[in-house]
Each structure stands twice: as structure tokens, then as C-alpha cells.
Amino acid sequence: MTTQKFYSDTEIIDGLQIIAEKACDEDFAMIQCAIERIKRKKNQIEFQGDRLRIAAEHIGFNMIDELQSYE
């Protein structure tokens, strides 16, 4: 079984931009759409990650406060 290389979002976007330079107008539009979609999804994932981290910290702090009150 062959191992498939993992490409980061940045590497994929860079590759698509290189391909877009040589593409016809119709393909160029689709490639630009793909690049923008990857960027939006990356931003959404980062935003959700930040929200999750904040929620976890809040829950953790509340749990610590509850545990301390039992002592």
C-alpha cells in the first residue's frame, strides 16, 4: 500500500494558484472559487476552535470552583 502525502491548505492553495495561471477563463473561475472556499472553511474552523477553547476554559474554571467549594 502506498502512503499518500498530506498537503496543508496553504500548499493546496499555492498549487491551485499555479494551475490557475495557465487555465482558461472558465477553469480559472472554478479554481478561484475553490481557493476562496478553502480559505472560508479554514477561517470557520479557526473560529469554531476558538469558541470551543473558550467554552472548555469556562467549564474547567466552573468545575474547579465547584470542587473547591466541596472542600
Which residues, at least 6 apart from 9, have a Cβ–Cβ distance to it below 8 Å?
38, 39, 42
Which residues, at least 6 apart from 16, have a Cβ–Cβ distance to it below 8 Å?
31, 34, 35
Q: How many CB atoms lie within 10 A of CB 31?
A: 19
pLDDT value at residue 1: 61
pLDDT value at residue 35: 93
pTM of structure: 0.66
What are the pLDDT digits (tens) for 21-57?
Answer: 888 888 888 999 999 999 999 999 999 999 999 998 9
